[in-house]
Amino acid sequence: MAGSDWTCDVSTMREWESPDYEPSLPVSEKSNPLTRDIDRASPNHIVRMLQACDSQMFQEEEGTTYQRLLSDNVVITMMEVAERVELILKDPQDSLVVLSGCGTSGRLAFLIASTFNRALRQLKQSSVYSYTIAGGDRALLSSQEAPEDDPILGMLSLKKVCEGKKRVLFIGISCGLSAPFVAGQLDLCLQHPEVYTPVLIGFNPAHQARDEPIPGCTFTFHNVVERMQELSKSQMAFLINPSVGPEAISGSSRMKGGSATKILLEVIMSVAHAAAFSKTPITSKGILQHLKASEKTLDITYSQTEGISGLVEAAGKSLRCGRRVCYLGWGSPAVLGLIDASECNPTFGAAFEDIRGFVNGGYRELNNSEGPLNSLGPEFCIAHEDFVHQVLPSLNDQDTVLLIYTHSDDVSEVMKMARRVREKTSNLHAVYHHVDGDTATALQEDINKLCLSTLKVSWPSSASASSLHMQWELSTKLVLNAVSTGAHVLKGKIYQNYMIDLQVTNSKLYRRATRLLQKLSGRPEAQCEETLLKALYRVDKLTPDITSSDMTAHILTARNTTKVVPLALVCLLTGCSLEEAKSHLEQQPIVREAVEAFLT
Ligand code: F6P
């Protein structure tokens, strides 16, 4: 275990900012010095490390290295974008605000578009928000990495949602400034400035945008960013790209990247709505106040370190013995459960059953544009009824079930579900959000009694209903990110702070895997890539067919293979054959320990 006295000093907090720290990597891909030993940490230390990493989001700018969330430039650009949103809200005819991204970035685009369309409906205003996500709505619930590499798909899906519109504010999200899908959409906007105004949200400085050629395209992400920078001088394009520090698990942008995306966009939309409908002018002070409120959300959430650690421990135990973790939620925080669960496959090589989310009301609550997706298979069944039919019958005490609800939900329904789950497993826990001063009802107490633990998060009663919901969502995101990440750490899926069993299902992940092999084996890049391909195609010698194929073909093959990176690493470290590496890993399925055995 990492020392029981784990603390983080200021120099470790800022170590990643040094120009000498992993200089070849963009911030979003660097490893975080705070979590170097996360793989050997106790649940409590894991949560404290995650807290320290998250708090880096709000660090002040120091010197000139990186602009931060609270930097003047960022706040000013947020104001400018909010003003554009306000214009559309006041005159929505033939106009649209489109949010778009890949993976978690696309899921958050969906969530934010839904939240603010709902707010408009409540005000009897017409909807102005729309979303696109690489891979379509199925990507809201499952990993679809290959479409992230497709700029044409991005462009076509943007054109489709904007059909007939004369004015579009396009907000592309790519935490790493790297997704070709988003690059294609931004390029379309740049080519048609009479209709589109592009905004890019990401968490690397512009010069660190990905500069790798995109097959079939004349531009790279980097080129697109350069063109946007030029146009930003005349406010024809906007770039919001503060640094939030490296992720706790290297490259896992679903964590801080996702949280910062949610914070930035919700602040922009909130101040724009207040300006359009309650005559509250958009000011930098107002924006800063909202940002500070998000920082407070982090503080309130992490004041529950003990409770979160208990959940991490329970979930980790379940995963370690091959059992499952289920999030059963009500209202919009439940959607954060779906989002968290959907990322476990590409991030940790998890099966979809390992961690699953369910929402009361299923697709009715989700209200996604393609409607119910149940027919696509069991992983797309997301309603509580689906949980009752598919999962509940086989649950036992080794499975962890987490109820996620708030004081505004129908507590009697929560009670009913809690009782049903308790018949199968005593390993039932709850995350419950309520406002200060709210006294627990008898029913509430009964639910608590049925649960092994209840994380009761109290929120200031002064907040408006809409900001309360956003706080609950962010808080739920932080808790669930900690649960799923911590549980996989405890399962031994992480080496130091690298996801070693990652899926190699798009070009970014392919490059990340090669880099990781280089780092851990110390072998040259070419040898690492060759060994990666051998592990991917399960051959000891590469055939001409394989060597002449492009990365797209390799990525397609990777969809159906497992343990590619661990196998390649064992081969590189020992020089053994793939069969031998496979049997080593079978004997030691905890990837971290298998890798450690070879590294020492
Ligand atoms: O490739 C998968 C993935 O890494 C997801 O984990 C992530 O949510 C998504 O890509 C988006 O990355 P970005 O926001 O940097 O484009």
Q: What is the ipTM of this complex?
A: 0.97
**Residue 157 CA to ligand 1 centre (angstroms):** 18
For strands 498-499 and 494-495, give the pairing. antiparallel
Distance of CA 170 to the CA centre of its chain: 20
Locate the ligand 1 atom nearest the alpha carbon of residue 343 and give its number: 6
Name residues of the chain where pLDDT drops below 70. Answer: 1-6, 64
Judge contact between 253 and 104, C-beta under 8 A.
yes
Select from 240, 253, 559 the residue to mutate for testing ligand 1; criterion: most ligand atoms less than 8 Å from CB. Answer: 253
Q: Which atom of ligand 1 is the closest one to the Cα of 179?
A: 16
CB-based pocket (< 6 A), ligand 1: 101-105, 145, 148, 173-176, 178-179, 253-254, 257, 343, 346, 506, 508-509
- pLDDT, residue 6, reads 66
Give the pLDDT confidence score for residue 346 in this predicted structure: 79
As a whole number of angstroms, the distance between CA 535 and CA 538 comes to 5
Distance 456 CA to ligand 1 centre (A): 31
Q: How far is the CA of 514 from the centre of ligand 1 (A)?
A: 17
Distances in Å between the Cα of 476 and the Cα atoms of 54, 264, 332 are 14, 17, 10
User: Among the atoms of ligand 1, which is closest to the Cα of residue 252?
Assistant: 6
C-alpha dihedral (574, 576, 579, 583), degrees to nearest 10: -40
Location of structure tokens 């290297």: 250
Rounded to the nearest angstrom, the distance between the alpha carbon of 346 and the centre of ligand 1 is 10
Q: Residue 2's pLDDT is what? A: 45
Question: How far is the centre of ligand 1, averaged over its atoms, from the C-alpha of 179 (Å)?
Answer: 8
Please give the torsion angle defined by the CA atoms of residues 342, 344, 347 and 349, in that order, rounded to the nearest 10 degrees.
-120
Beta strand 129-133 with 95-101: parallel, antiparallel or unpaired?
A: parallel
Half-sphere exposure at residue 458, Cβ-oriented, CA atoms within 13 angstroms: 8
The residue contributing the CA closest to ligand 1 atom 1 is 145
Choice from 175, 185, 502 to test ligand 1 binding pocket (greatest atom count within 8 A of CB): 175
Cα–Cα distances (Å) from 56 to 198, 336, 479, 530, in that order, read 28, 22, 17, 37
Q: For residue 254, which atom of ligand 1 is closest to its CA?
A: 8
Residue 255 CA to ligand 1 centre (angstroms): 10
Distance 253 CA to ligand 1 centre (A): 6
C-alpha to C-alpha distance for 162 and 166, rounded to whole angstroms = 8
**Alpha carbon of 597 to ligand 1 centroid (Å):** 31
**Residue of the CA atom closest to atom 13 of ligand 1:** 174
Residue 189 alpha carbon to ligand 1 centre in Å: 21
SS3 call for 219: coil
- Cα(594) to centroid of ligand 1, in Å? 27
Q: Which atom of ligand 1 approaches the CA of 104 most closely?
A: 8
pLDDT tens digits for range 14-43: 999 999 999 999 999 999 999 999 999 999
Protein residue with its CA nearest to atom 5 in ligand 1: 103
